[in-house]
Structure 1
Amino acid sequence: AAIDKPVHMQVFITPTCPYCPQAVHLAHQMAMENPNVKADMVEAIEFPHLSNKYNVMGVPRTVINEAYHLEGAAPGPMVLDKIAEALA
């Protein structure tokens, strides 16, 4: 399904997380390929107010449109499924 509505992805990371770069790369790649997608990388320790707001207990954690989330470095199809759920 095409992403035809605004999507905001926030990928929470820490500098030592080995799986975080993959999650950030995927989110930024989606943003580069679709003008409806905006992606941010958020350093969880530097922004505790955001980490608390989105209940970040582990990283990477991807928050989609402030209401949906994925844990870990999820593969592209899983991220797309979660985006579809967020836009439904």
Structure 2
Amino acid sequence: MSEKSYVLAVCLAGVFGTAGIHHFYLRRWAHGVFDLSLLILGIYFLFFFAPLGYLLLFTDFIHTVYFTFKLVIGEYKDGDGNLVSIPSSN
């Protein structure tokens, strides 16, 4: 079980999901950089080639929804390979 806070990770995913902040918190650097890059490039391309910008932002949204769902149901692992799961009530 991960030492990272499940509640904080879910909150970060819900509020800052498309920026990938929750990935950085959980030490999943590659996913964090991927999410942040999609967001930045999506916003950039909205001004110069809107269809590509929308595609990148949509991809970022789908990526965020998928990993947030995995986090909420307790199937997401942190950077050390430990599950980030709902704290037990014991």
| TM-score normalized by the length of structure 1 | 0.31
User: Which has a greater percent of helix?
Assistant: 2
Larger radius of gyration: 2
User: Which has a greater percent of strand?
Assistant: 1
